[in-house]
A and B are shown apart, each in its own frame.
Chain A
């Protein structure tokens, strides 16, 4: 099967865009990706569009604005993993010989969501009980703190680190760094997570152009290879994500490392699913960057900073770049593309050669969560 490469990437700033409608946001990202790749619109043979709440045939409406019609377009909903699932779909379609060049688009506009939360899913039993995402991750935090002695200071340091990345990322809206004291003193959302321990709800879009091995080098001398693209879903576990580890992340990561022939010790750069500080810490362990229970110590010792064992969320991550659900997974791949080509500016991880992107999506009653993805890229 053909290797698949990223040959272009584009995104909008992640922030409230009250006057720009979502199809236009997605068009801006898609067009930026197309222009950066050097492909002509008519060379793109298929598209996946990831989003959670943007309505029917979203991708077709976006592509129509560019005049790209007639191709197979798959619209793809997997909650917060929708964009990553779109990338997975294009990678596999190219591997299967369906196309040489495809585009993955992710977008979301959530500024209209009431109360700063993602819309309540009325048919999900746990959601109807008043479960909001911060409460799930608060229970994850309680579990990890009880079992391993992880501290609130350690969790707060993750928010500080990621904000440092966000401030250096022109796609993030933030320009001010924060302190551990700021995080701990922010308004409480769900104990023990304060507002600065949670990602914001934002609007935004991202897109990447993917190409087969056969054609990638016609467009760029430096394609970024997608060495593994793994998608998985949660198993029935009775507690959802309120645990001290993510079984489905561990499972997907193991498979990704096996497929890529690369181990966690080889990863230079990681964009993981950090909608809440505790999630980032738990996923250090799930992805094999440290042993279970060592995440807190790793934060204290700078293992996950630029210059440490593996630079985690140098873009700011969901916490400090923002989290427009469907856009996030595609934005992670765009970040990998820029980082692994040395084009990430002030947030560049020096010499980064291997990157890992990870998302988790969807609270579903009775299973851990709806979806997880792990992509491993090599520059």
Chain B
């Protein structure tokens, strides 16, 4: 999502462009989590607990890996820098 400030610039420096996309991914991640953890609400009766466990822990692990990846990509100090351009 483009903020009013961002829309002033058509082209961004590559790294800043990357950082922005990573931040957007970070913002989407919890939404994805909610959706995936909400899937069981749609299950009809009779799903085996072991299958459900495997599903939950797989989603959990995937979320963790995504979070690790994004945190690494964002890099240390990126938070501070992006804050100046964010909002």
Task: Please say whether chains A and B are actual partners in one complex.
Answer: no
